Amino acid sequence: MKKLIREAGYMKRHTLVLVFFISATALPGIWAQDTVLSSGGDATASNGSVSFSVGQVAYTSQSGISGVVNAGVQQPVQVIMVGNEEPLSEVTIGIYPNPTKDKLVIELSGEYPARGQHSFSLYDLYGKLLLQEHIRSSSVIIPLDNYAHGMYLLKVSHDTDVIKTFKVIKTN
């Protein structure tokens, strides 16, 4: 009986050590990319975007012959585009007034491509196509008085390629 009690105590200790070991190695991985920041966010411009964090207090830096490694929560990523794809068109697209009550004007200016055609598509926020037309002049008026107030997406395309998407706000 004493031997059985000793073996039970031995098993409890080893089970406790095993649970502690698994917890100590598995749980830190869950919060490996977690930190407390004072500020941060994303900034987007026409030629790219960047995300940033301010107040990161824990990071390490290692440098060597082949470069520098900064180990921390947020790391930069560089994307390199390979190829020589020409831009679809040198057209500048503007819409006004936005927000609007009854109509929206699309204006195109710049160099139009020799081939293909521009068009616009108006969608609700559920992705339902409400209106689609070809753009035949430098200025197009879209009547919106039959649509409910809310937010819509306006996509301007050249052939099948989307050039720009606008958020349009329709008011009463």
Q: What is the CATH number of the domain that holds 126?
A: 2.60.40.10
Q: What local confidence, expressed as pLDDT, does residue 162 receive?
A: 85
In a domain, residue 65? The reply is no
The pLDDT tens digits of the residues spanning 96-137 come to 998 899 999 999 888 766 566 889 999 998 899 999 999 888
Is residue 143 reached through a cis peptide bond, with omega within 30 degrees of 0 on the bond before it? Answer: no
Question: What proportions of the chain, in percent to the nearest 5, are helix, strand and coil?
Answer: 15, 45, 40
In a domain, residue 4? The reply is no
In a domain, residue 81? The reply is no
Q: How confident is the model at residue 158 (pLDDT cuts 50, 70, 90)?
A: confident
Residue 143 has pLDDT above 90, yes or no: yes
In a domain, residue 8? The reply is no
In a domain, residue 94? The reply is yes
- Pick from 161, 57, 146, 150: nearest CA to 115: 161
0.75 exceeded by pTM: no
Judge whether 60 and 71 are in contact, CB under 8 Å. Answer: yes
Number of domains in the chain: 1
In a domain, residue 123? The reply is yes
| Other Cβ atoms closer than 10 A to 106 | 21
Residues 21-34, mean pLDDT to the nearest whole number:
55
In a domain, residue 63? The reply is no
Q: What local confidence, expressed as pLDDT, does residue 73 receive?
A: 55
3-state secondary structure of 16: helix
Distance from CA of residue 40 to its chain's centroid? 15
- Using CA atoms, how far apart are residues 57 and 114, in angstroms rounded to an integer? 55
In a domain, residue 47? The reply is no
102: containing domain:
90-170
Q: What local confidence, expressed as pLDDT, does residue 152 receive?
A: 94
